[in-house]
Amino acid sequence: MIVAIDGPSGSGKSSVAREVARRCGLTYLDTGAMYRSVAYLCLERGVDPADDEATERVAREARIEFVPDGEGQRVIANGEDVTAQIRTPEVERAVSPVSANPAVREVMVALQRAAGAAGDVVAEGRDIGTVVFPAADVKVFLCASPEARARRRAVQRLGGNLATGDVVEVDAEAERTILDDLVRRDAYDSTREASPLRPADDACRIDSSDLGFEEVVDAVVSLSPELAARAQKGRS
Ligand code: DC
């Protein structure tokens, strides 16, 4: 079975997709980490992310693997563990032009489909329900207000996680900068020509602004009898 979860940065997609996968015995596929890995490899090799042809070559040569690690997973790109490196502000800046490159998307979508063909998957990203798996069994578009998303990101950067109740004090100035970046990235992701961020017509929209983490996960699981049965089986 394929579960597609799309939405903007900071909507809680990653935590929710990972937890749905854990509860329902599915494999979690973080497609954002794939675009981030290509952006990281470009920066490492001195390739300008705005140079479409050079970036496409980097994407074609990239071997991206996900290795389970305790509750999470590590991201390995061309044999190097890049789990932390792909979350830096430098990579965040480089990933927009990389992911707007149609040739890069073609390579990544083929890899994502291959991962889906191999088994039961919860994939999260921007174009999963619209392009990668248009026939997914369950499609969710997870959104939240820009302010709620900026707060989550700010807490995350300081090592906290609002999803798990691990709250840390954040600096208002830093939160403002994150909000500005996020609004800019949303606009870029939603207006780019190649697979812009938009909900699939048949996606179920969930607004997580005022919902707790467990409530969002429960809402996703309850969308499909098969998911609910899998979660039930996982508990017993
Ligand atoms: O979800 P994220 O923040 O890790 O995504 C990183 C970037 O990759 C973001 O700018 C959007 C882009 N992306 C995309 O274009 N398509 C996807 N399926 C996943 C991510």
pLDDT tens digits, 156-215: 888 888 777 787 888 889 899 999 988 988 888 888 888 888 999 999 999 999 898 999
Cα separation, 80 vs 213, whole angstroms: 32
Q: How many other CB atoms are there within 10 angstroms of residue 103's CB atom?
A: 15
- Backbone φ and ψ for 207, nearest 5 degrees, come out as -95, 115
Q: What is the pLDDT of residues 61-94, one digit of tens each?
A: 999 999 999 878 999 999 999 999 999 889 988 9
Output the CATH code of domain 1-11+19-26+126-224. 3.40.50.300
Q: How far is the CA of 236 from the centre of ligand 1 (A)?
A: 35
CB 32 within 8 A of CB 229: no
Rg of the chain over CA atoms, in angstroms? 17
The stretch 11-33 carries a mean pLDDT of 94
What confidence tier does 230 reach under pLDDT thresholds 50, 70, 90? very high
The ligand 1 atom at the shortest distance from the C-alpha of residue 132 is 18
9 lines ligand 1 (CB under 6 A): yes
**Percentage, residues of the chain above pLDDT 90:** 71
Average pLDDT taken over every residue of the chain: 93
Q: What is the pTM of this model?
A: 0.92
129 lines ligand 1 (CB under 6 A): no
Cα separation, 211 vs 2, whole angstroms: 24
CATH label, 30-119, candidates 3.40.250.10, 3.90.740.10, 3.40.50.300, 3.50.50.60: 3.40.50.300
CATH 3.40.50.300 in the chain is located at: 1-11+19-26+126-224, 30-119
Residue whose Cα lies nearest atom 6 of ligand 1: it is 32
Question: How do 204-207 and 2-6 pair as beta strands?
Answer: unpaired
